[in-house]
Amino acid sequence: MKKASTSKAEQDIPELKREHLGVGVRGKYFQHFAQGRNVVVLDPEIQKAFPTSEAVNKALASLLAFAQEAKNLTNPSKQISRKRSAV
C-alpha cells in the first residue's frame, strides 16, 4: 500500500504567517470572566417580556421561590408530626 503524498504543493490550505493574524490581546475577556457573566441567548418573544438582565433575574428568583414553597407544601416528611395526647 502506498501512503498518500502530503507535500505542501498538493495541499489547498495556504500557509499563514504571524503578520496576517494581527495583534493578540492578553486578557481580553478577563473582566467578564471575573464578574461571572454568562451569555444566554433568549428567544425574541421572551426578550420582549424581559428586556434587561435584572428583569430576568427577578422572574427566575420568584419562580425559584414558588417552586421551593410548592415543594415544602407537598413534601410530608418536612411537616411537623403531631401526636394526640391521652385524655
Residue 51 included in any domain: yes
**Nearest CA to 46 among 60, 32, 64?**
60
Residue 56 included in any domain: yes
* Chain CA centroid to CA 34, Å: 15
Residue 54 included in any domain: yes
Residue 66 included in any domain: yes
Residue 50 included in any domain: yes
Residue 81 included in any domain: no
What is the domain extent for residue 61? 43-75
Residue 25 included in any domain: no
Report the 10 Å Cβ neighbour count for 47.
11
Count of structural domains within the chain: 1
Residue 70 included in any domain: yes
Query: Tens digit of pLDDT for each residue in 22-76?
Result: 888 888 878 877 777 677 788 999 999 999 889 999 999 999 999 999 888 887 6
H helix intervals, 1-87: 18-21, 30-34, 44-49, 53-74
Single pTM value for the model: 0.43
